[in-house]
Amino acid sequence: MMVLRQPELTPCGVLFDVFKRRGGISHKELAGLILSDRPLSDGRSASSRAADRTWLSHFIVHAPVGSLQPAYFRDWGLSAQRIMSRLRQYGPRSMTFEKIIDLVCGEGSDAMCAALAACYQNVTLYRNAVTRFSKGQGHTTGERAEALLVLFVAVGCSGQVQVAVDYACSYVEKNLGGRMGTPESAMVDDAVAGAGAAARDGEEPRPLGLVRVRDGYLSGNIHWIDPFGAGAVIGAMATGAGDIAEVDEDVSAEHARVGWDAERGGWTVCDLGSTNGTVLVSGADGERVQLEARQAVELYPGDEITLGASTTFVAME
């Protein structure tokens, strides 16, 4: 008897199918968000093949479990950030944090569990992780949504529950301020019922994090920027208390500034007249914008900021 009769029953197939049907993200678009830019043995990267429908279907979306190459994918946390940005972008299909949680915990969880069971993975462990990330104590609604997306992406790209859970737990502990606490038995129902009342869009702004990306992977500590402060300067000689000097040598002394713009009601990044320039890459659609000096541009979680040739940070909510 064939174990996987339908290609969508692979974990990676579920990943692509769920985001297409519920999130409005096409296979080509999702491939652009999660496939790596690093060259493979033939000199081409996986992301450069995103427009090749035959290759994408055969080697990624419908690839047999165990045949997916880790080198095909970006860092899973970075991919989840990009997907988060895409799902929350303004428009008729924009999703709140609560809807993202419902997506991963509801239809997404059922489909993923079926795929994992079909390839003999530990479905109980995956369900436990989903429950912990959705109902555990000590994190905001946005952080729960982010943790669940990281888990969903990791298990979809790897097809291995233990690897995905270990990665997601490490990501939460390192980037979201500590482990998810155990759900409280007496309060679970009330917490779920009241989830929609917390962290609504338009409320008081929360800190924005910047974390360095090296060779497609998140690297180093996350730098949190207070929306009620003066913002953060990024540069080789940036010496302020909240500034970031974790940069390469071609970055100017004071290269760019990231801060909250109260009039716009959002985060912005501004090139400070740097020598080698600043490029903003949209996490939603991959659009690259060369910033003009002294002109602030809107910055969203999941976007990437590249200073000079090789210093890249990703914004995290």
| Domain assignments of the chain as residue spans, ordered by start | 7-193, 208-316
C-alpha to C-alpha distance for 120 and 160, rounded to whole angstroms = 10
Does residue 12 sit in helix, strand or coil?
A: helix
C-alpha to C-alpha distance for 297 and 280, rounded to whole angstroms = 9
Joined tokens for residue 191? 């917490």
Fill in the DSSP letter of residue 236: T
C-alpha to C-alpha distance for 145 and 180, rounded to whole angstroms = 12
Q: What is the pLDDT of residues 89-99, one digit of tens each?
A: 866 678 999 99
Q: Residue 238 — pLDDT band, cuts 50, 70, 90?
A: confident
CA angle in degrees (0–180, nearest 5) for 199-220-163: 75
What fold is seen in the domain 208-316? Tumour Suppressor Smad4 (2.60.200)
- pLDDT confidence of residue 203: 63
> What does the pLDDT average to over 198-213?
73
- pLDDT confidence of residue 200: 38
Q: What is the pLDDT of residues 296-307, one digit of tens each?
A: 999 999 899 999
